[in-house]
A = this chain, B = another copy of it.
């Protein structure tokens, strides 16, 4: 463990000898400099091939004080949307010519702190962080002040002076709610999520806004918080049915909540999409495949990746922008 192939490794010097140039020229080729002649470049490339040279990024990064390693710190990889997001980010970062490494904080601030501490030792070029609950603005600001480029995603941290990329939560639930109202549903509820999560308020506001614009009152009793898992969705749905047996449509905090809600409807003898309409948020892969397929607010992970990369490419100006990534309503069978 921790051991490495001990055979003497091939270095720029070996390549240089093989190519009949100096080590410096080899280095210029490796760093894709344009001030090297095509002839020399070709010779070097041949020599690299022949010698089986592999670039040593440790040495490069030590000397140049630069790195193309971007760390993605994800709050919970077992959460399907997070996984989708991570993959989207990875793809965009790779397109930028950078290399990303993914680590999982498992929703623990302690783990997150430890991970970031370690990642600093690896000389990462930037941090993309989907923060664990309880992350303080102090901690984040310290990271930024130390000079690390940081992009915060998905969850806002109030007081943190850091660039942030979020889905447009407000618009998402507003669209969803308007859609249900337009379909003629009169009695709506909003279920799932906890007010300790920053996006809860944004999503609830979207719902409220649409209701108010349609001259509907929003009953507190029909805005039911819950754990953001299937069980939470089931329990919240049960409560809704208890408070208002004739409920007609449900706006869910996210798709997982919607899955639970759909299950509970069935258990309570209601047919989802027929007796009660449902709209989710996230557009997980299952939402399209399940039956009935789930209407939901699509949040494109690639778009988030693109926005993050945009910030990353000119973060030197101490970019503290907030980017709201556009969302799309996908109408399917449950509405």
Cβ contacts under 8 Å, A229 to chain B: 289
Known A-B contacts A7-B147, A290-B230; the reply to A2 vs B98 at CB < 8 A is yes
Are A101 and B98 closer than 8 Å at their CB atoms? no
A182 within 8 A of B: no
Q: Which of B2, B7, B106 contacts A125 (CB 8 A)?
A: B2
A282 within 8 A of B: no
Are A3 and B66 closer than 8 Å at their CB atoms? yes
Q: Interface code A56-89, partner B: CB below 8 Å = 1, 0 otherwise?
A: 1111011001111100000001101001101100
**Copies of this chain, whole number:** 2
Stretch of A114-122, A132-140, A195-203, A218-226 lying at the B interface = A114-122
Stretch of A153-161, A312-320, A323-331 lying at the B interface = A312-320
Q: Which residue of chain B is the closest to A117 with respect to CB atoms?
A: B54
Cβ contacts under 8 Å, A149 to chain B: 3
- Which residues does A use to contact B, with CB under 8 Å? 1-7, 54-59, 61-62, 65-69, 77-78, 80, 83-84, 86-87, 90, 96, 98-104, 106, 118, 120-123, 125-126, 146-149, 229-231, 234, 259-260, 263, 266-267, 285-286, 289-291, 312-313, 315-316
